[in-house]
Chains A and B, each alone.
Chain A
């Protein structure tokens, strides 16, 4: 649609009766609009949907509504904007207009914004966005990826060997067309090494290599594949590909980068799902909507941790915006990872490159709309995953435990009461009067000056006893108590204070006790006081432990009378304070032991664990679905049209079968609807996108290289029919990946060598046609795991909370809370596979990041493979590599004996999976001799050689 002048003229309604109005507009108003507004709200650029080309355009307004209010001109939005009163509604954006200018515009608008017909701005151009959207939709209709999936016919090629497997027929067909000869079959040694790393991320042992190389049977290759697919390490390797795509991490990324409790269960769930060859369709259903399925189990609840993986801001400035950022992250990631669509680009406006409307985006987000966000300090994302029976047992045990504790507490109370009766001083009437408190919330290392701070709340202490129970939380808090002390007689008095953490006591004019630091303290102060009411004030803070503040005083006529009471008013005297100060004289024989036993029994009973099982899981705000809206320019504070849940319209999808939730449902049931559609056999994207990922991780690149983007801007498939075939095959084998892996790996295409063919290299240097197999470097995890593997330190234990490898001080010190966020694991746990390394978003392990570990904040479809000198510095000089080199040397001494040639042979064999040549052994011995001649201590010579082995290109690269 074009905006033509003529269209708006008829709408002109302002009074044009007076020639002086016209002159005023033309000479005063129009120049202001031209100078200050036209650039962004003119005919070319139309920001916020508003143009100022005519009065009609102003009345029509933009995304935020009409710019001028015809009925009440004084309340026009335009006037509010230029008044600069509200920070979020100010125009022009780069500064307030001058006073006179504002006055002119105000005068004009209050007069009804008269605008002469012949003074309208000229518009000729069509709106760019209108026409380009049309073009995009035209292209989208015929775009290959959006077409229904059909199993294509398999071509027939001349070479019979290449006709046996449809994959080969498709690839060979392409090669024949370009006149290329495919590479020969790879040597068996290279092949088995390739297969091991591809499927389990670890090299074969020398024995396994030997067995395969010497195998006579025809099905030896299939047997290797079957063995690897059945190995539990398969899930660890392929699960990691999925974790890259869904941006897995164990922490929230923002601000203090706190941990996500039990996130690791989701990581283990992914590994298990690959190992059990769960249908991919089911895998999707469980992750998006495992809590809304017909059959909800602990496993499907853990799966919904998928919805908790994103970065999360625990201290957002704009909570509503933060909420939509969170939902956007889930929706955008799901669309890219499962559908190959870059939905996120349509958050603020219709997609500029792909046929995705802004309303499509908000319809898509609305499936996730009711998810409850975590809250600071209470992440609200854990959920019990016990079975109903286990849950019953658990709750019963919790109840029993409470009863046991309560019984003991009652016994102790009875005991205290008995002893208390012998203590006349405990009157229950406090010596303090008019006691007030002020409570502060923050974390200190030292007692702050509370007078500079704003208390969170304040009030009177009813019973006039000092008590930390006035605080609304027991950690990271401070309290000031201020009142008067009733001094019974002139004389000297002693105050005893025990506290955790800092405390300062002022009585009369002076500070009597000053213990401002962290930790437990016990102090006394003496001073002379006169009869009457004396000012009394105590400042206290507690950082992380259990708060404790006990105050007693003694005078000439009384001993150890409490001023504090941590308990109820009726039970005013703190028993521990009393006995701590009065000593054993209050006890009768045997009572001290009785008391100690009671105390330790209570402690024990409280600490006794009741085993539960928790997972990071999704939760919704209830079962009432909220009304979703388009958000104008992505601004959550400006709602546009209402939208209902719907699938992206370019795919001609079915209408979502949204069912009203039942009364007892915990959720709206909407995610289930989305999951079912994504996982349906008819979805044109899902199978293609996943089949492409499987191909990508076998061949180093997808048939579509941009594996998260199958849109108009994505890279075109090099073998579209092969991809369609693979996708159709995936659906046909009930969405199971293992048959697909096997089909691919038994192909001649997969078994090609990586050797060069001059002609093909010249014509197709990037191997678009798969004329050979691409070499690749090991991934970050494979580098670390392989080093641990050759040294003998690799620990194949599976699952559980992440481990924390030792980090250099230089890395720890980059954090704002250096030692509070990394909890180094014991040495013997540090040999676990890299997939089990705790993923702290703001503190990643250098050995992994140096080798291009996935970005943790957004979906990582393809890892980089960089070569940098920092990698060489790490593999040569880091503590990890050098310690591993020494462990490797120890292993060689143990397994190969003391002969250096034998040691070198085994070392090279372990690192490269092949028998070393004589020349290589000679080279190895030459180094060791050279080192020894140069004065290297004998026991270190082998360490240096093993370090060399860990740095070999052949160890790091696969043919």
Chain B
């Protein structure tokens, strides 16, 4: 983890083999044999191949699995990102007071895209709430299926963030800062832990069918870290990642011929430069690429799943098919050792996501209806496979919504970053717990107030990383996901 790597530390020499003939003899195995990979080992491929941003080279094996600082409960994390800002007071944060005051103009401080206001017309929730499970957690009828899982869920009802504007709030939820250019959560996890499956990317993002969120790729950027840690965008159908198939009319056999001969050329070139591990790494990167052409499509092939599993995720219904497929795919990726998976519900702008400025009911009925069953299916499936303990599931958006109406008429709610709800499940957290409270209208967090950095600290902690010890030296500073001042994980929900 240390960033100030001693530049005098010996680099990998090529397994001590520097004589040309000896080398060529070992190389003779041809492309498809595993001889080369075996010989190089993971270190050969991944070791000492980058120069860090501060110019201190070399870097230690950027993606080989690393043990974290702490014994982590979770091995993977699935972040269900409800882009646009789902309303906490219409989903999980039950506020009977807003129904009592429905339609009345009251004094309440709010701060959204419409700026600061001191009063507003309360909009009661159009959905009814009931208590569920042994924990008695309140859930509105937007999420009838998730409601059956509340005893596995820890609710964070006093979340706060630094901005009530989509772009900067998205960056904050993803990278801890409202300014772009910083590595995202998935990058930090892969930087800290590496990936346990070299045939698949360690950080996967799946977008909504309407498009990416505001600021696009900035949300899954690796910022000032090297490109190993950036996300790969997966598509749930067709080719999951770019450039995964031979181009045009090239056949697999042709590609293999090309690769085998390429290997000979590159082997000859390497023979006079055997101390250069980067050249060897590039040779074996072709082998990995070739393997990914098989492993990646196999990972996304959810059609091989039994019907009852597919139905559990709602693949049998038109409106839940899309998000359900992504959730099921997420489980398959978790099984294959992918470290961090982020799924977006909602994309593009306005009502294509949870940004309910106009008709609250129509918007949230639509987005919750598309995701409720798949989310519950994911939790249940992970649990029945014994994977929930080692998989951290996070649900939430970049902020919540205000108790008051945005406009003179109608039910639309403006953004609210002063108090909102997120939830986490699995990964060694306590189910059935609730931390924090907002005021009686849900306008701001007042008890056990939590910040995005506490959420991030908890994720890092459960994944086995010390949130205040995971640093990356850049721009004269030991940078941290949780900020220079540090942050504690949310101890109340850690089992």
Contacts and interface: CB of A to CB of B under 8 A. Distances in A.
A930 B257 contact: yes
B49 A867 contact: yes
Contact of A816 (B55, B212, B223, B264): B212
Interface stretch (A401-409, A546-554, A856-864): A856-864
Given A255-B167, A868-B285, A944 B212 contact: no
B211 A816 contact: yes
A874 B243 contact: yes
Task: Report which residue of A84, A707, A870, A956 has the largest number of chain B beta carbons within 10 angstroms of its beta carbon.
Answer: A870
A428 B13 CA distance: 92
A443 B211 CA distance: 18
Given A872-B285, A876-B243, A927-B257, A95 B446 contact: yes
Nearest to B267: A953
Contacts of B57: 701, 705, 766
Given A452-B359, A452-B412, A952 B223 contact: no
Interface string A941-953: 0001101100111
B254 A345 contact: no
Given A313-B168, A317-B164, A948 B261 contact: yes
A701 B51 contact: yes
A944 B283 CA distance: 18
Given A873-B242, A954-B269, A766 B476 contact: no
A953 B212 contact: no
A454 B412 CA distance: 11
A584 B258 CA distance: 72
Contacts of B262: 948, 951-952
Interface in B9-66: 9-11, 13, 18, 45, 49-58, 62
B216 A861 contact: no
Contacts of A937: 249
A866 B49 contact: yes
A715 B54 contact: yes
Contact of A701 (B55, B253, B281): B55
Contacts of B216: 257, 814-816, 842-843
Contacts of B266: 952-954
Interface stretch (A28-36, A677-685, A805-813): A805-813
Nearest to B436: A95
Contacts of B268: 919-920
B249 A344 contact: no
B233 interface: yes
Interface residues of B, number: 119
Interface string B260-293: 0110111011101111101101110110110011
B37 to A, nearest CB: 12
Interface in A685-735: 701-702, 704-709, 711, 713-715
Contacts of B408: 454
A768 interface: yes
B226 A953 contact: no
B418 interface: yes
A905 B482 CA distance: 56
Contacts of A707: 55
Contacts of A777: 278
Given A95-B436, A810-B235, A817-B348, A255 B258 contact: no
A954 B269 CA distance: 7
Nearest to A254: B167
B195 to A, nearest CB: 12
A863 B475 CA distance: 14
Contact of B347 (A257, A345, A766, A816): A816
A754 to B, nearest CB: 8
A761 B55 contact: no
Nearest to A700: B51
A815 B58 contact: no
Task: Report which residue of A336, A881, A934 has the largest number of chain B beta carbons within 10 angstroms of its beta carbon.
Answer: A934
Interface in B153-188: 158, 162-168, 178-181
B226 A864 contact: yes
A532 interface: no
Interface in A909-937: 919-920, 923-924, 926-927, 930-931, 934, 936-937
Contact of A865 (B10, B49, B242): B49
Interface in B333-390: 347-349, 358-359
B449 A920 contact: no
A857 B244 contact: no
B228 interface: yes
Contacts of B18: 756, 758
A272 B211 CA distance: 40
A871 B285 CA distance: 8
Contacts of A316: 165, 168
A935 to B, nearest CB: 8
A782 to B, nearest CB: 15
Nearest to B163: A317
Nearest to B484: A348
Contacts of B99: none
Nearest to B352: A816
B476 A454 contact: no
Interface in A861-911: 861-874, 876-879, 881-882
Nearest to A863: B51
Contacts of B257: 927, 930-931, 934, 944
A849 interface: yes
Contacts of B214: 255-256, 816
Interface string B226-268: 1110101101000001111111111101110111011011101
Given A706-B54, A810-B242, A814-B233, A953 B269 contact: yes
A852 interface: yes
B437 to A, nearest CB: 8
Nearest to A883: B247
Contact of A852 (B226, B265, B282, B418): B226
B395 interface: no
Contacts of A816: 211-216, 347-349
B322 interface: no
Nearest to B199: A869
A878 B244 CA distance: 9
A81 interface: no
B359 A868 contact: no
Nearest to B158: A95
B410 A452 contact: yes
Task: Report which residue of B273, B436, B447, B450 has the largest number of chain A beta carbons within 10 angstroms of its beta carbon.
Answer: B273
B56 A927 contact: no
A850 interface: yes
A217 to B, nearest CB: 29
B138 interface: no
B279 A957 contact: yes
A860 B278 contact: no
Contacts of A325: 179
B409 interface: yes
A453 interface: yes
A858 B181 contact: yes
Contacts of A852: 226-227
Interface in B103-151: 109, 111, 113-114
Contact of B211 (A453, A815, A924, A936): A815
A826 interface: no
B176 to A, nearest CB: 15
Given A815-B211, A867-B49, A452 B358 contact: yes
Contacts of B241: 810, 873
21 contacts: A94-B450, A95-B447, A254-B215, A313-B167, A315-B167, A332-B475, A701-B55, A709-B54, A713-B476, A715-B54, A765-B11, A861-B53, A864-B52, A865-B278, A872-B282, A872-B288, A876-B243, A877-B243, A927-B257, A936-B254, A951-B262
Closest 10 pairs (CB-CB, A-B)? A342-B476, A857-B181, A452-B410, A705-B55, A872-B289, A255-B167, A882-B247, A454-B407, A869-B288, A877-B243
Given A775-B273, A814-B216, 9 more contacts: A342-B477, A449-B359, A454-B406, A715-B56, A810-B242, A814-B207, A816-B348, A857-B223, A862-B52
